[in-house]
A = this chain, B = another copy of it.
Amino acid sequence: MASFSQDSYSQHDKMYVATDCIIFGFDEGRIKLLLFKRRVAPFEGDWSLIGSIVKLEEDVEVSAKRVLEEITGLQNVFMEQLKAYGAANRDPGYRCVSIGQYALIRINDYDRKLVEKHGAHWHDIEEVPDLVLDHNQMVKDAQERLKRKARYQPLGFELLPEKFTIPQLQQLYEAIYQKELDARNFRKKVLSHNVLIKLEEKDKTSSRRGAFLYKFDHKTYKKLMKSGYNFEIS
């Protein structure tokens, strides 16, 4: 019954509801996390996730997307709710429930000036500093979610540029799973899904020979999804 208890509303407590964004990127073969250095008290100088307090008339999801856009300049980003963090004492200041949301962004798309202006920096996911409040827990939970969900949903493509090579895609999945993969089996597996479109161009930034670029075929993927298809990359 939630909000419609038999008691009247007025007897109940109100509190702040916040969102915190766990923003993942992928660069130089590593998963990155966008963190924010606080410039004011409390916790001045400490690292934290980027978040905000939800407004009365604002959907929680909208609130998170608003912050993400303010910081990165990006719209239409993949974002999904992780869970709510609701310990009574999680914030020593005021009672505040925070809803963690993780986002996957293409690391070359974001607006560098905006990010800098907000005091945000990319950190390697393997070297996350101590964060304020329960933010380290949020990061850990988000990383596990990504790891699990990437197995059966093509999340990876959200982190790569539109055009990418198979070796790049493999690097990404190796970073997500924290595990090395066999190049031949990997290529076989991803191509078997028939959701990659091979382009004529090659990317020569990482080898003399160059590797063919591919695009993710969103249309075909959506069709497959509807017919009960199961994407999987081990």
In the complex with contacts A36-B1, A96-B2, A54-B13 CB distance below 8 A: yes
Asked if B1 contacts A55 (CB within 8 A), the reply is: no
> Can you name the residue of chain B whose Cβ is closest to the Cβ of A93?
B3
Q: Within 8 Å of chain B (Cβ to Cβ): is A162?
A: no
Asked if A91 contacts B56 (CB within 8 A), the reply is: no
On chain B, the residues within 8 Å of A86 by CB distance are 17, 54, 59-61, 99
Asked if B38 contacts A3 (CB within 8 A), the reply is: no
A5-23: contact bitstring with B at CB < 8 Å (1 yes, 0 no)?
1100100111111111000
Asked if B42 contacts A18 (CB within 8 A), the reply is: no
Q: Within 8 Å of chain B (Cβ to Cβ): is A95?
A: yes
Asked if A15 contacts B13 (CB within 8 A), the reply is: no
Q: Within 8 Å of chain B (Cβ to Cβ): is A133?
A: yes
In the complex with contacts A9-B93, A60-B86, A133-B2 CB distance below 8 A: yes
In the complex, what's the smallest C-beta–C-beta distance from A45 to chain B, in angstroms? 12
Total residues of chain A contacting the partner, CB 8 A: 54
Asked if B133 contacts A53 (CB within 8 A), the reply is: no
Asked if A15 contacts B53 (CB within 8 A), the reply is: no
Interface centre among A4, A20, A95 (most CB of B within 10 A): A4
- Give chain A interface residues in 13-60, CB to chain B under 8 Å: 13-20, 36, 38-40, 42-43, 48-60
On chain B, the residues within 8 Å of A19 by CB distance are 2
Asked if A84 contacts B87 (CB within 8 A), the reply is: no
Distance A18 CA – B9 CA, assembled complex (angstroms): 11
Distance A6 CA – B37 CA, assembled complex (angstroms): 12
> Can you name the residue of chain B whose Cβ is closest to the Cβ of A36?
B1
On chain B, the residues within 8 Å of A60 by CB distance are 84, 86-87, 97
On chain B, the residues within 8 Å of A9 by CB distance are 16, 93-94
Which residues of A are in contact with B by a Cβ distance under 8 Å? 1-6, 9, 12-20, 36, 38-40, 42-43, 48-62, 81, 83-84, 86-88, 91, 93-99, 132-133, 135
